[in-house]
């Protein structure tokens, strides 16, 4: 049996340019996302992990069409959405939703919770009764008491605000939800509540999640498959177990090793990578990671490795994987 | 049940009231403004004399029991004219505010939201008007249109909307990067609804501050135009006109210019105090969050 | 390695702090007690609203106009800091005690070269000539791992990455030869690979110079990696205090236990994360009795009634919980976690 992917990215690239306002001259440009190809299956959670400047947030915005790809092709449910005209965008908005990182800036402080959750429904012409019923329904899903519906966001804690954000994303019963650092601003005890909630929601509704985070623990908990990004490229893509237990790219390995775990017995055993993350404005030639890679060879300085399959469903962009 | 209590800080209204009460400027300003507004609204019932009726027997009558503030060159009661003058000043101010706030916020929001050529056209127009000193530009327009109440309103609106537009634009530009605006776009919210629901309620506080400080300027400008004789015309009483009429008689009968100036001064101080107070209360940079 | 914990460099004794709220003073710290020995790394861990940052600000005398130490003493090297004037306190800050924050950019002057800012510390606190100070500044930058320090000294803060700016802040602390470094979430804004670099730098400095560190963080992983002793704070109180080994191997307080379990691990896949219901109460709305009892799965009537005190178990492990003498296996079953 073959299932068609719900989302397909083919060589997607995004350049940002800084132009001088007077003459429109390009002052500098950076490639935020570089030749990304991947597929997401219906009902799965794809985790996208990487450090700052790796392009993970831009990738999320590209999928949502909040920004336009420079090159490449994005397909959603078999339909090319890369250059949809605004008229047809609205249909897409119904199917793909987003949950943001900052639970403070992502809710309009002047709107009641009920109106915040109802807004997407209103945009697609739902009737008053239908809206009311659906708002009650999603508030129940995210475990927010209905009695809170007429309050303003400032009355809520970070965790509750994130529940409101999730409820808003669920309102239209989307097929795909992009979560951009959705738990990063929360305290650990609240983070666990939201992670369990997202995991429950997915199990119950079978919604597809693209979960973007810098936190590997969070990524491992939620994801079925994981893409590791570095300087705009995917350097490793594998099912969660394979990626965390047998990482093939030296960067993935260093990243996993660098996480401080609450375990005193592992003290001082971390691999500390040298150097800073290069700026995407001025990326190194060859493999983007070679400047910090403990295994870098001559070949790595000259040619950027392609993302290649090394095992079923496991691919890595490295000349010397393993 | 999420298990989290929705406790959090007090409701914004009650917090606003507490801060307002503790702010001396805002309290004094609002009392003065309330008195001026009350005088203007209740003028027909509280004025002892007909403001337009000429009485040659009481010309330049000094202040006394019959005429609290004295009488003017045509024997009209100065107290009554000062009270009714408040009505004219406030009417002009309210009209100018209504026009400039509407035009300024709409154009400012459009400039910020759409950017590109829309922004360029609107903001260059704003720059051109800003290039002239406000009052001189207003005098120029009023002189071209000919005197009258409508003229004053039009002239002051033309010089005053660019400030509102520029303020709105900068406020909306910073709001545009807020995630809730992006969330609204991502869930297919149409532009007019984004402006009405996401921009307007979030920029209203600084606009109110700007407006309440601006009232002082508008009233002053109206008085100036009337003083110069290109504003509101006789026999309707205006503070500016009364000051002009009293000026020639300043040595012998100062009461006319004096009471009109006092009324103008106190009103301006009231609105400025209120505006300063509101800014302290509402501006997040002054307020600790 | 230097002999650690021999003498108390810093003693915080019964410190309570309150802030002016809209409706009168609000107590945010309640009877905080701890010590730091010279060369020791003490970690304060807690979630937002726990009071961990206020604790560090109190030590630095940086509570501001709204905050006030109601009772208690803070003794640094024999001197009571709470008795000092603002001017005297300024002399202590930056010389005896240095501080680094989550956002190094806010502590650096954006219009001065970073090398100059380090040199300025030297000329201000010591009798150093400008040329000598610059030379020393470059040496310090080199020491904290800034490559090509000689040329980077003329860079402005915005030209440096977050990690590099944090290194500059650490170099400034070294310049003063501070005995105590207060690090408030020093790596929270940094990427994980850069965080590892900064943590290992702080560790090295402690070992090489015997600098004591008060490390404030929300990250149990950072604490486990760095701290000799740990203070766990919740809602303005210390709820558990112990050597790091003991804390991570046998956490006593239900809050600590649950918090440790609720961190998603990259080393194993969990089906469900143990979690703590609810959120930390705001200081204006603290529950009576044990402050954790509304969120505690094993709370009993006695937890609602009286305030628990910090009880010492064994030689140096203390926890603020009334159910400590209960059978631990029962406790764990109640928490729904196996430890």
Residue C274 in contact with residue C336, Cβ under 8 Å? yes
B182 part of contact set with chain A, CB < 8 Å = yes
**Mean pLDDT over residues B260-273, rounded?**
90
User: For residue C306, with 0-12 CB atoms within 10 Å meaning exposed, 13-18 middle and 19 or more buried, which class applies?
Assistant: exposed
Q: Is the pLDDT of residue A180 over 50?
A: yes
Please name the helix (run of DSSP H) or strand (run of DSSP E) that holds residue A175, with its range, or none.
Answer: none
User: Element (H or E) spanning A158, and its range?
Assistant: helix A158-170
How far apart, in Å, are the Cα atoms of A287 and each of A234, A291, A298, B95, B233?
12, 8, 10, 66, 80
pLDDT in tens, B47-106: 777 877 777 777 777 777 777 777 777 778 888 888 888 888 889 999 999 999 999 999
Contact between chains at B18 and C22 (C-beta distance less than 8 A):
yes
pLDDT of residue B4 exceeding 60:
no
Cross-chain residue pair C281–B7, CB shorter than 8 Å = yes
The reply to whether C248 touches chain A by the CB within 8 Å rule is yes
pLDDT tens readout for residues A278-321: 888 888 899 999 999 988 999 999 999 999 999 889 999 999 98
Task: Establish if C159 touches chain A: CB-CB under 8 angstroms.
Answer: no
pLDDT band with cut points at 50, 70 and 90 for residue B243: confident
Is B86:B35 a contact under the CB 8 Å cutoff? no
> What's the pLDDT at B112?
94
Inter-chain touch A219–C266, beta carbons under 8 Å: yes
ipTM score: 0.86
Contact at 8 Å (CB) between A229 and A50? yes
Give C180's strand partners. Answer: C97, C212
CB–CB contact A52 C191 (8 Å):
yes
Q: Is C47 on the interface with A (CB under 8 A)?
A: yes
Residue B283 pLDDT > 70: no
* CA–CA gap between residue C182 and residue C102 (Å, rounded): 11
Name the CATH superfamily, with its identifier, for domain B11-287. MetI-like (1.10.3720.10)
Under 8 Å CB-to-CB from A129, ≥6 apart: which residues? none
- In chain C, which residue's Cα lies nearest the Cα of B5? C278
CA dihedral A230, A233, A239, A244 (to 10 degrees): -10
Task: Write down the domain spans for chain B.
Answer: 11-287
CB atoms within 10 A of CB B146: 10
Q: pLDDT: is A279 or B282 the higher one?
A: A279
Q: Which residues of chain A have a Cβ shorter than 8 Å from any chain B Cβ?
A: 64, 66, 89-90, 93-94, 96-98, 100-102, 105-111, 119-120, 123-124, 142-145, 148, 151-152, 154-157, 159-160, 163, 165, 168, 172, 190, 193
DSSP C48: T
Residue tagged 């691919």 (tokens) = A315
The dihedral formed by the CA atoms of A11, A202, A183 and A280, expressed in degrees to the nearest 10:
0
List, in order, residues 6 or more apart from C186 with CB less than 8 Å away. Answer: C100, C101, C102, C166, C198, C202, C215, C217
Å between B105 CA and nearest CA of chain A: 18
User: Between A260, A272, A273, which is nearest C222 by CB?
Assistant: A260
Tens place of pLDDT per residue across chain C (339 aa):
334 445 789 999 999 999 988 788 999 999 999 999 999 999 999 998 899 999 999 998 888 888 899 999 999 988 899 888 888 888 888 788 988 888 888 888 889 999 999 998 888 878 888 899 999 999 999 999 998 898 999 999 988 888 999 999 999 888 888 899 999 999 988 888 899 999 999 999 899 989 999 999 999 999 999 999 999 999 999 999 999 999 998 899 999 998 998 999 888 888 888 888 888 898 998 999 999 999 998 888 889 988 899 988 888 899 999 888 665 555 565 555 444
Give the mean model confidence (pLDDT) for residues A156-160: 90
Question: In this predicted structure, what is the pLDDT of residue C325?
Answer: 67
Query: In chain A, which residue's Cα lies nearest the Cα of B177?
Result: A105
Residue of A nearest to B174 (CA): A105
Of A108, A151, A168, the CB nearest to B198: A108
**B180 inside 8 A of chain A by CB:** yes
Cβ(B58)–Cβ(B81) under 8 Å?
no
Supply the pLDDT for residue A23.
61
Q: Peptide bond preceding B113: is omega within 30 degrees of 0, i.e. cis?
A: no
Give C328-335 contacts, CB < 8 A, sequence gap 24+: C331/C254, C331/C298, C332/C257, C334/C297, C334/C298, C335/C254, C335/C257, C335/C258, C335/C261, C335/C274, C335/C297, C335/C298
Contact between A60 and A178 under an 8 Å Cβ cutoff? The reply is: yes
Q: Give the side-chain half-sphere CA count within 13 A for B130.
A: 12
- Determine the pLDDT at residue A22: 56
Cβ within 8 Å of C, A 211-240: 214-221, 240
Q: In this model, does residue A18 exceed pLDDT 70?
A: yes
Phi, psi of A61 (to 5 degrees): -70, -30
Q: Give me the mean pLDDT over the A84-112 stretch.
A: 87
Six-digit token string for A48: 């996208």
Report the distance separating Cα C38 and Cα A55, nearest Å: 44
pLDDT for A279 equals 84
Which of A50, A189, A198, A245 has the most C C-beta neighbours within 10 Å, making it the best mutation to test the interface with C? Answer: A189
For chain A, counts of helices (H) and of strands (E): 10, 12
pLDDT of residue B1: 35
Closest by Cα among A280, A307, A286 to A298? A286
Contact yes or no for A108 and B202 at CB 8 A: yes
The more confident residue out of B250 and B26 is: B26
Minimum-distance CB partner of A124 among B12, B182, B188: B188
Check: CB of residue A286 under 8 Å from CB of residue A302.
yes
d(C-alpha A234, C-alpha A39), whole Å: 12
Q: What is the DSSP letter of B194?
A: I
Q: Is the pLDDT of residue A242 over 90?
A: yes
Alpha helices (H) in C15-105, listed in sequence order: 52-60, 86-92
């Amino acid at each position: 049996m073959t299932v068609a992917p719900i989302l397909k990215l083919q060589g997607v690239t995004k350049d940002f340019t800084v132009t001088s306002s007077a003459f429109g001259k390009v002052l500098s440009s950076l490639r935020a996302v570089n030749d990304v190809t991947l597929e997401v299956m219906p009902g799965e959670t794809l985790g996208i992990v990487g450090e700052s400047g790796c392009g993970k947030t831009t990738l999320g915005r590209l999928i949502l069409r909040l920004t336009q790809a420079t090159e490449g092709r994005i397909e959603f449910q078999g339909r090319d959405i890369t250059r949809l005209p605004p008229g047809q965008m609205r249909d897409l908005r119904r199917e793909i939703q987003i949950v943001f990182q900052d639970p403070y800036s992502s809710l309009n402080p002047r709107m009641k919770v009920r109106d915040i959750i109802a807004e997407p429904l209103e945009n697609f012409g739902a009737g008053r009764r239908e809206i009311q019923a659906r708002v009650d329904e999603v508030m129940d899903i995210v475990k927010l008491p209905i009695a809170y519906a007429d309050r303003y966001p400032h009355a809520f804690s970070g965790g509750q605000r994130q529940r409101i954000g999730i409820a808003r994303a669920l309102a239209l019963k989307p097929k795909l939800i992009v979560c951009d650092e959705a738990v990063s601003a929360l305290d650990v005890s609240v983070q666990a509540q939201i992670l369990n909630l997202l995991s429950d929601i997915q199990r119950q509704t079978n919604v597809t999640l693209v979960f973007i985070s810098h936190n590997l623990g969070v990524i491992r908990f939620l994801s079925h498959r994981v893409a590791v990004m570095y300087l705009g490229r995917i350097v490793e893509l594998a099912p969660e177990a394979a990626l965390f237990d047998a990482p093939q790219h030296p960067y993935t390995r260093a990243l996993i090793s660098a996480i401080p775990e609450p375990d005193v017995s592992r003290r001082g055993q971390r691999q500390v990578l040298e150097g800073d993350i290069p700026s995407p404005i001025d990326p190194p030639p060859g493999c983007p990671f070679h400047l910090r890679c403990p295994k870098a060879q001559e070949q790595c300085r000259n040619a950027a490795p392609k993302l290649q399959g090394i095992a079923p469903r496991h691919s890595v962009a490295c000349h010397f994987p393993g | 049940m999420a298990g989290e209590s929705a406790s959090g800080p007090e409701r914004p209204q009650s917090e606003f009231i507490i801060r307002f009460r503790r702010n001396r400027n805002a309290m004094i300003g609002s009392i003065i403004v309330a008195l001026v507004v009350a005088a203007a609204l209740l003028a027909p019932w509280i004025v002892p004399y007909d403001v337009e009726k000429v009485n040659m027997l009481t010309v330049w009558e000094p202040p006394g029991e019959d005429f609290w503030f004295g009488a003017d060159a045509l024997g009209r009661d100065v107290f009554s004219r000062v009270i009714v003058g408040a009505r004219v000043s406030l009417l002009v101010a309210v009209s100018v505010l209504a026009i400039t706030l509407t035009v300024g916020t709409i154009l400012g929001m459009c400039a910020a939201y759409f950017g590109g050529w829309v922004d360029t056209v609107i903001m260059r127009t704003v720059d051109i008007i800003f290039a002239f000193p406000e009052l001189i530009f207003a005098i120029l327009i009023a002189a071209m249109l000919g005197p009258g109440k409508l003229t004053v309103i039009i002239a002051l609106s033309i010089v005053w909307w660019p400030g509102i537009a520029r303020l709105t634009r900068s406020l909306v530009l910073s709001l545009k990067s807020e995630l809730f605006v992006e969330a609204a776009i991502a869930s297919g919210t149409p532009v007019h609804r984004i402006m009405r629901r996401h921009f307007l309620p979030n920029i209203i506080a600084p606009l109110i501050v700007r407006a309440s400080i601006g009232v002082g300027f508008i009233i002053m400008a109206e008085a100036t135009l009337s003083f110069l004789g290109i504003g509101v015309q006789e026999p309707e009483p205006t503070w500016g006109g009364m000051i002009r009429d009293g000026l020639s008689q300043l040595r012998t009968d100062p009461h006319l210019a004096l009471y009109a100036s006092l009324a103008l001064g106190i009103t301006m101080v009231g609105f400025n105090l209120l505006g300063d107070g509101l800014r302290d209360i509402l501006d997040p940079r002054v307020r600790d969050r | 390695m230097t002999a650690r914990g021999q003498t108390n460099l810093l003693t915080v004794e019964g410190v309570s702090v309150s802030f002016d709220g809209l409706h009168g003073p609000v107590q945010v710290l309640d009877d905080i007690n701890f010590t730091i020995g010279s060369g020791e790394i003490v970690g304060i861990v807690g979630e937002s609203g726990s009071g961990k940052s206020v604790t560090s600000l109190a030590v630095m005398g940086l509570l501001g106009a709204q905050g006030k130490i109601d009772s208690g003493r803070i003794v640094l090297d024999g001197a009571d800091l709470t008795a000092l004037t603002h001017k005297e306190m300024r002399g202590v800050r930056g010389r005896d005690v240095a501080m680094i924050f989550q956002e190094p950019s806010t502590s650096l002057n954006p219009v001065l070269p970073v090398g100059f800012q380090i040199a300025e510390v030297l000329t201000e606190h010591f009798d150093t000539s400008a040329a000598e100070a610059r030379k020393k500044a470059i040496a310090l930058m080199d020491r904290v791992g800034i490559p090509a320090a000689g040329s980077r000294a003329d860079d402005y803060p915005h030209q440096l990455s977050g990690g590099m700016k944090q290194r500059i802040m650490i170099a400034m602390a070294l310049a003063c030869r501070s005995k105590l470094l207060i690090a408030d979430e020093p790596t929270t804004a940094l990427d994980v690979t850069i965080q590892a670099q900064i943590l290992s730098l702080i560790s090295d400095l402690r070992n090489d110079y015997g600098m004591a560190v008060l490390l404030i963080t929300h990250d149990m992983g950072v604490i486990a990696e760095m701290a000799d002793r740990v203070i766990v704070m919740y809602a303005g109180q210390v709820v558990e205090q112990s050597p790091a080994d003991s804390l991570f191997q046998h956490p006593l307080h239900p809050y600590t236990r649950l918090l440790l379990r609720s961190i998603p691990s990259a080393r194993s896949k969990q089906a469900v994360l143990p979690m703590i219901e609810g959120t930390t109460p705001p200081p204006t709305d603290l529950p009576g009795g044990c402050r954790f009892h509304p969120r505690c799965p094993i709370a009993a009537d006695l937890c609602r009634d009286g305030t628990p005190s910090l009880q010492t178990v064994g030689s140096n492990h203390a926890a603020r919980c009334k159910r400590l003498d209960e059978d631990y296996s029962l406790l764990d079953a109640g928490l729904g976690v196996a430890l």
